[in-house]
Amino acid sequence: MLYVVRHALAEDVSASGDEARHLTEVGRERTLKAATGMRAIGLEFDLILTSPLARAVETAEIIATAYAARSAPRVLTELATGIAPGDAVAALAPFGRNDNVMIVGHEPQLSALISILLTGERDAMHLRMRKGGCVALGLPASQIQPSAAELLWMMTQRQLRKLRK
């Protein structure tokens, strides 16, 4: 299983640049509530991989904390903005040995990555992930490769928050 999460609500771009943007307080609160919703539906993962950008790392850390994860999220440079989605898919392939992997990144890369995993082409399907949203992809024999995935569900952060018990 591959869970694809877009980072949560972040600050506007500042003089420090896009890479340094942090989550807003609202973004942090909503992410914690969404993570509680993920737990309520039984979502599990062995590993969280995240973009190196601050807002993605913070999103991943909040989710890991909500799960009391045994290990901290790992940075995967290929999940950063400006990296070709095909390169991100190739970088994810070795992690297919894990039963359940969560990745945290950015648009438009994540939508194109999902399209590649489902269809083999980056622009064969068009979707837009909202901030804090999550897509669940089933993977045969835990293979992260083009055209191998099956779309199981897609939820916005609001929907995930409503699943809390």
The pLDDT of residue 14: 73
The pLDDT of residue 113: 97
pLDDT band at 23 (very low <50, low <70, confident <90, very high): very high
CB-based burial, 70-103: b 16+ in 10 Å, e otherwise: eeebebbebbbeebebeebbebbeebbebeebbb
Among 102, 142, 141, 147, which Cα is nearest to 124's?
147
Cis preceding-peptide flag for 85 (omega within 30 of 0): no
pTM (2 d.p.): 0.95
pLDDT tens-digit map of 26-83: 999 999 999 999 999 999 999 999 999 999 999 999 999 999 987 899 999 999 999 9
**Which domains, ranges and CATH numbers included, belong to the chain?**
2-11+17-162 (3.40.50.1240)
pLDDT tens-digit map of 97-145: 999 999 999 999 999 999 999 999 999 998 999 999 999 999 987 789 9
Residue 90 has pLDDT above 80, yes or no: yes
- Residues of the chain with pLDDT > 90, as a percent, come to 87
Among 7, 2, 113, 99, which Cα is nearest to 51's?
7
